[in-house]
């Protein structure tokens, strides 16, 4: 598995570098065309100018300076783009150990896999009432049940069954907790999810880990383990 993942990381890095090089090349070609056109027009004007009233050199000198500044900007952008591509590749390689492991991450969605999903929620204070609601990818509520109301951390191991007791299809689901105190004021629950990392990907400069149909950025990882709680 590791060899395959390494090849994926290398391929992603190569693609990013190729894209950067292609963009830079196109910019330079465009700039070169503009400069050549400008120089041809300038040469024609100089050849046909009135000797008794020569052209003001300040204008075309400023134009040449502008072209030079644009070229410098393109070269600077090239270097930054290459650095970002290398950084993205480095993040891919660094994140490889996550594959095959269970991670806890800061979000309220994860993938139901083999009929199982795990979430945790934390209530900062004792609640008088609390309800768990799970929605599918279309936003439909598939399960709604009472939740534990004590202050602190609670783990919810979902067996993938809906409100009618039927087994739901594997896929992405979201988990929410609505809680109120004795004074009827809303209590905000902090939610995290668990999932087994299938792969690491890089897209638009961001490195993400995949859990089934769910994609998350690396900064959301809270803990890594060999198995969910």
Please enumerate, as own/partner, the contacts of 181-188 that have beta carbons within 8 Å and a separation of 24 or more. Answer: 181/125, 181/126, 181/127, 181/128, 182/128, 184/128, 187/123, 187/124, 187/125, 187/127, 187/130, 188/124
| Residue positions counted in the chain | 229
Is residue 13 pLDDT above 50, yes or no? no
pLDDT of residue 89: 56
Q: Can you state the angle between helices 57-95 and 2-47, rounded to 10 degrees?
A: 180
In which band, very low, low, confident or very high, does the pLDDT at 14 lie, cut at 50, 70 and 90? Answer: very low
Scan for tokens 């050549």, then name that residue.
36
180-225 residue pLDDT tens: 999 999 999 999 999 999 988 877 767 888 999 899 988 899 988 8
Check residue 225 and give its pLDDT: 81
Q: What is the pLDDT of residue 91?
A: 59
Nearest-angstrom CA–CA distance, 115 and 74: 52
Question: pLDDT-derived band of residue 227, with 50, 70 and 90 as boundaries?
Answer: low
Q: What count of other Cβ atoms lies within 10 Å of the Cβ of residue 173?
A: 25
List the one residue out of 72, 67, 81, 80 whose CA is nearest residue 22: 81
Please, what is the average pLDDT of the chain?
77
Out of 72-76, 99-103, 149-153, 186-190, least confident range: 72-76
Percent with pLDDT over 90 in the chain? 44
Average pLDDT, integer, range 61-83: 62
Judge whether residue 116 has pLDDT over 80.
Answer: yes
Say what the pLDDT of residue 74 is: 62
Q: Which residues neighbour 114 within 8 Å (Cβ) at sequence distance 6 or greater? A: 170
Residue 70 scores a pLDDT above 70: no
pLDDT digits (tens, 9 = 90+) for 23-45: 555 555 565 566 666 666 666 66
Q: What is the pLDDT of residues 127-186, one digit of tens each?
A: 999 999 999 999 999 999 999 999 999 999 999 999 999 999 999 999 999 999 999 999
CA 2/CA 98 separation, integer angstroms: 11
């Amino acid at each position: 598995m590791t060899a395959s993942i390494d090849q994926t990381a290398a391929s992603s890095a190569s693609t990013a570098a190729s894209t950067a090089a292609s963009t830079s090349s196109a910019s330079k070609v465009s700039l070169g065309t503009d400069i050549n056109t400008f120089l041809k027009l300038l040469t024609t004007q100089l050849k046909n100018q009135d000797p008794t009233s020569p052209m003001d050199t300040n204008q075309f000198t400023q134009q040449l300076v502008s072209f030079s500044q644009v070229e410098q900007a393109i070269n600077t952008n090239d270097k930054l783009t290459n650095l970002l591509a290398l950084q993205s590749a480095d993040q891919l390689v660094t994140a490889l150990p996550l594959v095959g492991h269970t991670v806890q991450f800061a979000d309220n969605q994860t993938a139901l896999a083999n009929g199982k999903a795990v979430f945790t929620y934390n209530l900062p204070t004792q609640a008088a009432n609390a309800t768990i609601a799970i929605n599918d990818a279309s936003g439909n509520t598939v399960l709604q049940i009472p939740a534990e109301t004590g202050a602190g951390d609670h783990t919810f191991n979902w067996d993938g069954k809906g409100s009618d007791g039927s087994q739901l299809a594997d896929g992405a689901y979201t988990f929410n907790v609505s809680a109120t105190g004795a004074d009827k004021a809303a209590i905000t629950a902090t939610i995290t999810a668990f999932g087994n990392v299938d792969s690491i990907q890089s897209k638009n400069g961001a490195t993400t880990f995949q859990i089934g149909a769910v994609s998350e950025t690396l900064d959301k990882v809270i803990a890594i383990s060999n198995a969910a709680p």
